Amino acid sequence: MPSKCSTKCLNQTHKVFFDSRSVPRAFWENGDEDVTIKILFCGVCHSDLHVAKNEWGFTNYPVVPGHEMVGTVMKVGSDVKKFKVGERVGVGVIVGSCKKCESCQQDLENYCPQTIFTYNSHYTDGTKTYGGYSDMIVVDERYVLRFPDNLPSEGGAPLLCAGITVYSPMKYYGMTEPGKHLGVAGLGGLGHVAVKMGKAFGLKVTVISSSPKKETEAIERLGADSFLVTSDPAKMKAALGTMDYIIDTVSAVHPLLPLLSLLKLNGKLVTVGLPDKPLELPIFPLVLGRKLVGGSDIGGMKETQEMLDFCAKHGITADVEVIRMDYINTAMERLAKSDVRYRFVIDVASSLSQ
Ligand code: NAP
Ligand code: ZN
């Protein structure tokens, strides 16, 4: 995409094109392999908040967050094969990679050393990427997803990050065997989708939460089998050694010992949350229980498409609070306090029509 950008392009996102009289035109620069997308909805991931507040220490302001987009194709480049104008599509966390390395060749673009993230990243020519809190984006077709017809745009948008982030480790680490017991630590955007996926895989699912108020919803609305509050020592003790797998989505620094203690022999703890400081890893329970601790980062494009199709088949969507763009600062404050049921999604179109 960057190599196609006109010298008259005044916006580093390659989004806005001005003609010779410097009058904005409704025209977005689009390379041969690019898809121009009008964004309809964009989810608000906790990573957006980490980056907006520079909690990871590598934010390069100005930043336009957003990596859970659903939109409509407005234009395709001459070499685009997968998409047509008018189709509904999705864009997630990455918009580029080298396409040549071992990871890219194995459909693991998310682990390419040259991954280009949807925002707070750079294209190969050095220009910055800006994300989905916006009305349009231009993306190389390799990083665009078909959006299944029966998935609603609002509830489906968060699958582009939250969905694939929990689906990929469940598949890779073999956490899908029906009848096994999955613990989901942190009932937020990622966690609530993990509960639904766990149930779709036929697992027994227990939510492990710091918020006692989420119990009824976790069981009655999201379909979890049971609920543990980490601050309840009696219940935590009763659950020791009962889980086969735990997926840890907690966004803040937290102790791993209580989670490792919930695992059975050979249990697996996979962490996907990205707190701003390192977690302490207790070695004794790992060694004595032959337990495994792993990590996982979103998923490749092929697997993301597989995940969307899986969700469409099983009727899995995120539970969302649809907001207008002008609510985003309040939404971020509420997200920081775990006060969202369970994903904010920006309705971009209605935000623009006053
Ligand atoms: P979220 O909606 O804010 O959910 C995080 C949950 O963590 C909260 O709902 C809360 O659950 C729990 N939590 C928060 N603060 C806590 C604390 N101080 N102590 C204990 N529990 C706490 O966030 P999200 O969008 O799901 O993202 C979760 C994390 O995953 C973030 O760090 C994000 O950056 C990361 N992430 C990673 C990837 C990846 O590819 N690996 C992709 C996307 C996001 P309870 O109220 O139930 O305790
Ligand atoms: Zn995300």
State residue 91's pLDDT score.
98
What band does 349 get if pLDDT is binned at 50, 70 and 90?
A: confident
What is the predicted pLDDT for the residue at 6? Answer: 35
The percent of residues in the chain predicted with pLDDT above 70, rounded, is: 92
Structure tokens at 196: 């639904």
Residue nearest atom 46 of ligand 1, based on CA coordinates = 211
Give the residue, out of 251, 297, 334, 340, with the most ligand 1 atoms within 8 A of its beta carbon, to mutate for a pocket test: 251
pLDDT in tens, 188-242: 999 999 999 999 999 999 999 999 999 999 999 999 999 999 999 999 999 999 9
Q: What is the per-residue pLDDT for 342? A: 97
> How many angstroms separate the alpha carbon of residue 250 from the centre of ligand 1?
4
Query: Do 218 and 227 meet the contact criterion of CB atoms below 8 Å apart?
Result: yes
Share of the chain above pLDDT 90, in %: 90
Q: Taking Cα atoms as reference points, which of 300, 318, 345, 344 lies closest to residue 94?
A: 300
Residue 24 pLDDT exceeds 50: no
Within 10 angstroms of residue 264's Cβ, the number of other Cβ atoms is: 16
Which atom number of ligand 1 is nearest to the Cα of residue 338?
9
68, 157 in Cβ contact below 8 A?
A: yes
d(CA 320, CA 43) in angstroms, rounded, equals 9
Measured CA distances, 158 to 97, 253, 261 (Å): 22, 23, 31
Cβ 267 vs Cβ 245: under 8 Å: yes
- The ligand 1 site (C-beta within 6 Å) comprises 45-47, 50, 161-162, 165, 186-191, 209-211, 214, 249-252, 254, 272-274, 296-298, 335, 338
Question: Would you state the pLDDT for residue 354?
Answer: 61
The beta strands (E) that lie in 242-342 are given as: 243-248, 263-271, 292-295, 320-323
What does the pLDDT look like over 246-298, one tens digit per residue? 999 999 999 999 999 999 999 999 999 999 999 999 999 999 999 999 999 99
The yes-or-no verdict on residue 174 having pLDDT over 80 is: yes
- Which ligand does the CA of 190 lie closest to? 1
Rounded to whole angstroms, how far apart are CA atoms 61 and 46? 18
Residue 152 has what pLDDT? 98
Specify the ligand 1 atom closest to the Cα of 342.
2
Task: Please tell me the residue having the least CA distance from ligand 1 atom 10.
Answer: 186
pLDDT of residue 352: 83
Ligand 1 centre from 326 Cα, in Å? 23
Region 48-57: mean pLDDT is 97
Ligand closest in space to the Cα of 46: 1
CA of residue 300 to ligand 1 center, whole Å: 21
Nearest ligand to the CA atom of 343:
1
Over the chain, what is the mean pLDDT?
92
